[in-house]
């Protein structure tokens, strides 16, 4: 396997994690585990963005680096509408609260809407990942 094939394989790995995470979010929602569903929605978006950035030769060790570079590479450049940056940032905050703050709960309707938007987000990112074609 050459470097290009290996690179494409790693990009596809992160994209597959994004798809599996969004499906996991649906299962958690169906089970009434709203905080876990929010966690999985966030990670789905995070993995999708990680795949898209890696496709461009960019990778990071911290969530903040992924978010910052997503804003620079996709939002400020005009490739993706700014509403998706706001969505990603909101998911990050929701995940932080759900994972690390006691007594935080989410409304089912809100989680359902975020799950729908999470699926839409993946559709926005997918065209930027040549390794999936």
Q: Which domains does the chain have, with CATH numbers?
A: 3-132 (1.20.120.330)
pLDDT of residue 2: 54
Question: 3-state SS string over the chain?
Answer: CCHHHHHHHHHHHHHHHHHHHHHHHHHHHHCCCHHHHHHHHHHHHHHHHHHHHHHCCCCCCCHHHHHHHHHHHHHCCCCCCHHHHHHHHHHHHHHHHHHHCCCCCCCHHHHHHHHHHHHHHHHHHHHHCHHHC
pTM for the whole structure: 0.93
pLDDT for 46-92, tens place per residue?
Answer: 999 999 999 999 988 899 999 999 999 999 999 999 999 999 999 99
């Amino acid at each position: 396997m050459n470097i290009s094939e290996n690179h494409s394989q790693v990009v596809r790995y992160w994209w597959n994690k994004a798809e599996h995470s969004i499906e996991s979010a649906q299962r958690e929602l169906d089970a009434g585990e709203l905080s876990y569903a929010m966690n999985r929605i966030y990670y789905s978006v995070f993995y999708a963005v990680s795949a898209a950035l890696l496709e461009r030769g960019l990778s990071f060790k911290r969530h903040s680096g992924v978010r910052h570079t997503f804003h620079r590479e996709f939002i400020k450049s005009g490739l993706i509408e700014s509403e998706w940056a706001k969505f990603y940032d909101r998911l990050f905050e929701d995940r932080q609260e759900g994972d690390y703050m006691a007594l935080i709960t989410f409304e089912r309707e809100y989680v359902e809407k975020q799950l729908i938007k999470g699926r839409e987000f993946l559709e926005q990112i997918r065209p930027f990942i040549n390794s999936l074609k």
